[in-house]
Amino acid sequence: MPTLSIEGRRQLRGHIRVSGAKNAVLKLMAASLLTREPCVIRNVPYIGDVLNMIEVLEGLGARCQLDGDVLYIEARDLHPEAPRDAVRRMRASIQVMGPLLGRLGEVKIAQPGGCAIGARPVDLHLAGLRALGAVIDERHGYIHGRAAKLQGAEIHLDLPSVGATENLMMAAAVADGETVIRNAAREPEIIEVQNFINCMGGRVRGAGTDTIRIRGVAGPLGGVDYTVIPDRIEAGTLAVCAAVCGGDVTLSPVIIEHMEIVAAKLVEAGAGVEVNGETLRVFGDGVLKPLHIRSQPYPGFPTDMQPQVVAMLTRALGTSIVTETIYSSRFKHVDELRRMGADITVDGRVAVVRGPCRLSGARVEASDLRAAAALVVAGLAAEGETVIEGLEHLDRGYEDLAGKLAAVGAKIVRRVPTEAAVP
Ligand code: EPZ
């Protein structure tokens, strides 16, 4: 299997281009199933999750073509059963439920698998779809949904689930009458789904607030040509790399409003942060102060940045406290960080990070996407060589992270064993 080798303790200098947002693109790909007309999505990152979602859409009968960062999707003739293997590989494939129920009146999909970051049920997705009139049967590891015609409804989510909000927006876009989603998630990616559906001729408003109103359209939705927003988590990860290494790095494009809490925490930690339009500059000497962090739904501190920040805080001068409120088990990176010399204790959902630690390079293994990113941050901060295994996790969500970091001075190389390199 390929590994990433990092020789740490080098300052970073230069500019890095931020790719399109994974967690928006995957939902726009699902939303493309709402129409028979061609859809074009631009600024698509070349990452494993996008390739996997292409497999899901193709398995449903859609035609997809990825040309550079432009993805063409044409879902003229669809059938309702999603391909099991591709679905089991990625939880986001559950997002095809809403569009398929809306368009075909039927969907059959494997239950999404367990996850390295804790239990991730889909009960809120299913309760919402039932409220829209779908009959849903869960049997033999599959979810089977049917609906002669979805009907608009008032839905109050028990918690502001990102995926449930998006699934219900897509289903409601073609339902009869009006749907109101209360306690909706407010993440920027939800606004992307709203904008995409509206560009197709849908009528959605309120995304970005906790109440979203969707008026179902009677006629078919049309095709769309849409450019996705920059990835706020990729940008945040790169900003953390710059803060921990020291130096002077600019990141663009970013939507600064999406980066506010991460930028504020970096400033609190003592990093230099400047904003100039769509460019975020992170600079300093790598000397950092401890933080108190609590992951929260947007606009709170993103859980998807928690592992990277824990890795960064091992270098801070003092004790940091990091509380994970979204996932039950998102501290798997801590064991690997300890192998590198980090002094971290975890009690339930709280990690106490005692810094500064002299991290030393070690052979470590990534357990999920953001844990992999945390190991990259630690490798950049450590003395000696760090070798990261489990790169398939990193590749799911980061477009050429190693190449981007190497271009600003990191000593980081991807090693592919010779036998694996032979096609
Ligand atoms: C999205 O997952 C992101 N994934 C996640 O990013 C991100 O961590 C998460 O939102 C929170 O911001 C994509 O967009 C593809 P949720 P999603 O539904 O939609 C519980 C990454 O690293 N819940 O808001 O699955 C659930 O168990 C990934 O890029 C239920 O109980 O997140 C979790 O504890 C990881 N029942 C919490 O809500 C449900 O039906 C948040 O889940 C749904 C969710």
CA distance from start to end of the chain: 13
Parallel, antiparallel, or unpaired for β 70-74 and 63-67?
antiparallel
The pLDDT of residue 42 is above 60: yes
The pLDDT of residue 122 is above 80: yes
| Predicted confidence band of residue 422 (pLDDT cuts 50, 70, 90) | very low
For the residues 164-193, what does the mean pLDDT come to?
98
For ligand 1, atom 25, the nearest C-alpha belongs to: 163
| Predicted confidence band of residue 46 (pLDDT cuts 50, 70, 90) | very high
Interval 270-292: pLDDT, tens: 999 999 999 999 999 999 999 99
Using the CB atoms, write b or e for 310-347: b if 16+ within 10 Å: bbbbbbbeeebebebebbeebbbbbebbbbbbbebebe
The pLDDT of residue 114 is above 70: no
Parallel, antiparallel, or unpaired for β 39-42 and 224-227?
parallel
Establish whether residue 114 lines the binding site of ligand 1, counting it when its CB lies within 6 angstroms of any ligand atom. no
| Predicted confidence band of residue 81 (pLDDT cuts 50, 70, 90) | very high
Question: What is the layout of strands, in order, in the sheet containing 70-74?
Answer: 63-67, 70-74, 39-42, 224-227
DSSP H helices in 60-96: 84-89
* Distance from C-alpha of 272 to C-alpha of 1, rounded to nearest angstrom: 38
* Distance from C-alpha of 295 to C-alpha of 393, rounded to nearest angstrom: 21
Active site residues: 115
Backbone angles phi, psi at 279, to 5 degrees: -115, 135
The pLDDT of residue 113 is above 70: no
| Predicted confidence band of residue 219 (pLDDT cuts 50, 70, 90) | confident
Amino acid in position 219? G
Output DSSP code: residue 209: B
For ligand 1, atom 5, the nearest C-alpha belongs to: 304
For ligand 1, atom 21, the nearest C-alpha belongs to: 304
* Distance from C-alpha of 197 to C-alpha of 318, rounded to nearest angstrom: 47
Say what percent of the chain tops pLDDT 70.
98
Nearest atom (ligand 1) to Cα of 49? 15
Q: For residue 163, report the distance from its CA to the centre of ligand 1, in Å.
A: 6
Q: For residue 52, report the distance from its CA to the centre of ligand 1, in Å.
A: 18
Interval 384-413: pLDDT, tens: 999 999 999 999 999 999 999 999 999 999
Cβ atoms within 10 Å of 208's Cβ, excluding its own: 16
Query: In this predicted structure, what is the pLDDT of residue 423?
Result: 45
Say what percent of the chain tops pLDDT 90.
95
